[in-house]
Chain A
């Protein structure tokens, strides 16, 4: 099977043809030969397949809100070809058996590469290390370990985890939230929490853990990845650590690049998320930090929740937002269209860099001849009202419904297989049998 992409703008730059043969990019440039299938991509931007370092596909245990298949479809619709799925399933992904199960179900679904993230501590209890070596050496070859949803709060355990994981070349992805400073916290602490009478989640609870962890990482010589940073102060700490040569990487979510805590003023639980939406100044500093490279990647923190846990009071609602389908549009809106970065930077922050942090092969030379054919085609000129028809997972807790966002994924190609054609998801049996 050969696919010829005609006239695509290569990462936003010159128009070119891309010839795919099997699962490999065969030619880039002016392609003279024809192919089994030709995609007219004039005016369309070609990006490397997107890589998400942070999602919750909920399986096993949370199939009411998402499954590996439904989450994979949401991912493909958003232009992703690899997603990492967090360990806070039920049971927790803290053994080789479980991560192998997750990876296998991802392969079976066939829309994207599903890379399980292993728990740092057994059952996410923050007390005893999980089977890190077993997961690393399993067929799932886990490289990223995280108790996401919970912080590895105990400094001694965090030190040991950093050291132990580095033994296997892996990385700890820390959910930076001081548990004591955030008891019952449900919204950013500041003007809005004071107005709403809701318990505040202070910025310092994130920043103090990051500060501690970068120093620990430096001390033990390990890599550290910081999940979903949300405050201007966290940016400062990361910037300082990088300048000092500490092996730290940082991610920001699309929603923290666009939304502020003012969204909570109506107590609409769709805006309840952890870490919470912060202030307009935080949003601005996060955008600038992506632009200057302090923040390495954008990751979705795709967190599906059944409607019953969002059609309720703020207090009772679950934390989290779905984000796989909207990530690229929000990045275009907040970073590209706002003039902070260019499309080659988008390829870096949504594909090359997250793949490098997760040690995912095949993403090192984006859209180069000989690379795996993981390609996302996006129409940047498309602008539309964001509604539930754009969502393809089992849950609809998107904070962007009713807003206007630019950009639309028109084609996603995963290892040479089309998972999205003309903006529509390919049927599961076709993908599975490809």
Chain B
């Protein structure tokens, strides 16, 4: 594996291997010397055409922990969103010595295009492309589920037998898309809970069950409830009528948390709209994994860089 573009191409065995590597990286992070020399002399370029401080910092921390040099290119706006400029930007960064390009872009498919176009030779890691995918988020979510729910038995295991509900704005969510694909690959069962307006069409191939409301999903007694960030402007575009109705039907709150088994966890990729898709008290509850996901993100991204480093094909 030279690039990480999509959860779609990931098979179970290498995915479990990445998660196991991430466990080792967690160990590294708890040592006195929190660094590995693996990427010494290599350069990781974070290229962010869309603002995401937390994802950028997570990749930076991961690269630094592997002793890589890090360069960061962030920009927004149309002047560099044209394809020619993207091509030029990436070729410029590669000419400056980038071995890895971590790419975040507001348009779906950009990471695929970069790989398929042959514009650059560097390893490409998709750090989120439009409403398409965010594969490292899915990996860190899988890692979080596995360590929370499997505990001591996590290493080497997939997610067979684990039931996951993904609730909210599936349509616009690259996190939901990557998770639905990766969770299925790892053997989990996935249920999507959303209004029809926020579900993509013809998603039979995702292999997920679909229910209307979060209450129906809670009835399934899932091991995981994954909430998603909702953009407030979706309201004005007719996807749902009001924040209060969304919260009432698809928001994760205390009463719904109480109806879950005590071992179940509640996830959110951040940044949260407290009080909209997730209540503040649920977010701060012991069953919430929100900060754990952030911590695991660094270890998982270290594991991804480490894994791609070993394969230049």
Contacts and interface: CB of A to CB of B under 8 A. Distances in A.
Interface in A261-319: 266-269, 308-309, 311-317
B10 to A, nearest CB: 15
A196 interface: yes
Contact of A268 (B107, B116, B130, B205): B116
Interface residues of B, number: 30
B174 A197 contact: yes
A311 B117 CA distance: 8
Contacts of A200: 201
Interface stretch (B67-75, B77-85, B226-234): B77-85
A190 B201 contact: yes
A197 B201 contact: no
B110 interface: yes
Interface residues of A, number: 23
Contacts of A268: 116
A429 interface: no
Contacts, number: 80
A196 B108 CA distance: 7
A191 B207 CA distance: 13
B275 interface: no
A198 interface: yes
A194 B203 contact: yes
Contact of A313 (B83, B205, B206): B83
A123 interface: no
B200 A194 contact: yes
B62 to A, nearest CB: 25
Interface in B191-213: 200-206
Contacts of A317: 83
Mostly, the A contact residues are loop
A195 interface: yes
Interface in B102-137: 105, 107-110, 112-113, 116-117, 129-133
B56 interface: no
A193 B112 CA distance: 15
A265 to B, nearest CB: 9
B87 interface: yes
Contacts of A198: 108-109, 130-132
B17 interface: no
B177 interface: yes
Contacts of B81: 315-316
A189 interface: yes
A240 B262 CA distance: 60
A193 B202 CA distance: 9
B86 interface: yes
Interface in B153-193: 174, 177
Given A200-B201, A312-B87, A315-B109, 17 more contacts: A190-B201, A191-B201, A195-B8, A196-B108, A196-B109, A197-B109, A198-B130, A266-B112, A267-B113, A311-B87, A312-B86, A313-B83, A313-B109, A314-B113, A315-B107, A316-B82, A317-B83
Q: Which 7 A-B pairs have the closest CB atoms?
A: A312-B83, A197-B132, A194-B200, A267-B109, A315-B107, A197-B131, A197-B108
Interface of B: 8, 81-84, 86-87, 105, 107-110, 112-113, 116-117, 129-133, 174, 177, 200-206
8 contacts: A190-B201, A191-B204, A196-B108, A198-B131, A311-B83, A311-B87, A313-B109, A315-B109
Interface of A: 189-191, 193-198, 200, 266-269, 308-309, 311-317
